[in-house]
Structure 1
Amino acid sequence: MTAEDSGSAAPAATPPLPRILCDTGELLPPGGDLAAGALWKLAEPGRQLDANVVRVPAAGRVDTHTEPDLDVLLLVLDGAAALLCTDGERPLRPGVLTWLPHGSTRAVQAGPGGVTYLTVHRRRPGMRIQPPGAADRLRPDVDGV
């Protein structure tokens, strides 16, 4: 069995090998009812990216939000939706690749058949233990104190 097929990480002494992680066609059965939410997540150790395949059901919505830190690529795999932005609405259909720059405000409104899409972005760093008092610099100064 090759490293591509095993699903396990390559030994530390050898460089990592490309691997097939998911067949999105198998996640999307024809005419099947799909659960809402994440259908697949990238979970490989040592990765620099995060990726998710997300299903939003018919007429469902990802509420308006602003991502302050990360650029996101969104690729529609199945269905249709509208990307709602501060400057208008953009139609999303299978094959449409969209860049969502950090700082942009957006929402996704699924169409009548729902929408399934892949998102990819830089991995967020994990939470770190800080020395005592490190959070004090983030607190507002109250009455000059």
Structure 2
Amino acid sequence: MSVPETPRLLLSLDELVPSASSAQGGALWKLVEQRRQLDANVIRLPASGSVALHVENALDVLLLVVAGDGHLDGGDGPLPLAAGSLAWLPRSSRRGLRAGPGGLVYLTVHVRRPGMGIAGPAAAAEGGEAPCALDRVCPHCGRMRAEARAPFCAWCGEPLDPGAGR
């Protein structure tokens, strides 16, 4: 018999954001509870940093700007973002982020992504194995990068080796 989880405070954004260096990019915090149904991350993009335009076909994402400013790219053009902005990124939408001159700190929340599979029905139908895509897996969170040359992981926000994933 499992013991039920109890609500608890996970972090204080008022303490987390100022304590991180303004030049630091990537994930400042990740939800890591074992039995969770959600994934959540607090990400900092440094001044003028960006997450390349990409399409997420599996998940809706809720994005809350915690500090800084920038733009959400995709759809009908760039949408301005500032602290307190709340954006819904529907699955199958094209999206990207650009930080302003002071950087951008944001929280993302979405349903927990199931583990990745290596081969799918297409590989079996064509015969043989699917091509190896290990060079496109983020070394920080283990998820597939959205674009071959993306500078940051679209999932965890960590900087990626520009030479990998070509």
Alignment-mate amino acid for residue 55 of structure 2: T
User: Aligned equivalents of 2:38 and 2:120: distance in 1?
Assistant: 31
Matched residue type, 1:93: A
**Partner residue in 2 for 1:138:** 122
Amino acid in the other structure paired with 1:137: P
8 A contact 2:28–2:41 mirrored in 1: yes
The runs of at least 4 consecutive aligned structure 1 residues that moved more than 3 Å come to: none
Name the structure where strand makes up a greater proportion of residues: 1
**Which structure 1 residue ranges, 5 or more long, are not aligned?**
1-10, 130-134
Report the number of matched residues.
126
How far apart, in 1, do the equivalents of 2:100 and 2:81 lie? 9
Over aligned residues, Cα RMSD in angstroms?
A: 2.3
Distance 2:32 2:99 in 1: 26
Q: Distance in 2 between matches of 1:83 and 1:137?
A: 34
Q: Extract unaligned runs of 5+ from structure 2.
A: 128-166
* 1:127 CA displacement: 4.1
Percent identity between the aligned chains? 52
Q: 1:25 to 1:138 in 2, by over 3 A?
A: same
For 1:89, the equivalent position in structure 2 comes to 78
Q: By how many angstroms is 1:126 displaced? A: 2.1
Matches within 5 A, 1:34-45: 34-45=23-34
1:126 and 2:122 matched: no
* Amino acid in structure 1 at the alignment position of 2:94: T
How far has the Cα of 1:108 moved from its partner?
0.4
Write the distance in 1 (CA, Å) between the matches of 2:120 and 2:75.
35
- Structure 1 residue corresponding to 2:63, chosen from 61, 74, 88: 74
Match of 2:97 in 1: 108
Q: Deviations over 1:80-136 (max 9, x none)?
A: 01001131111010111100000000110100100000000000112469xxxxx47
TM-score by length of 1: 0.79
In the superposition, the TM-score normalised over structure 2's length comes to 0.69
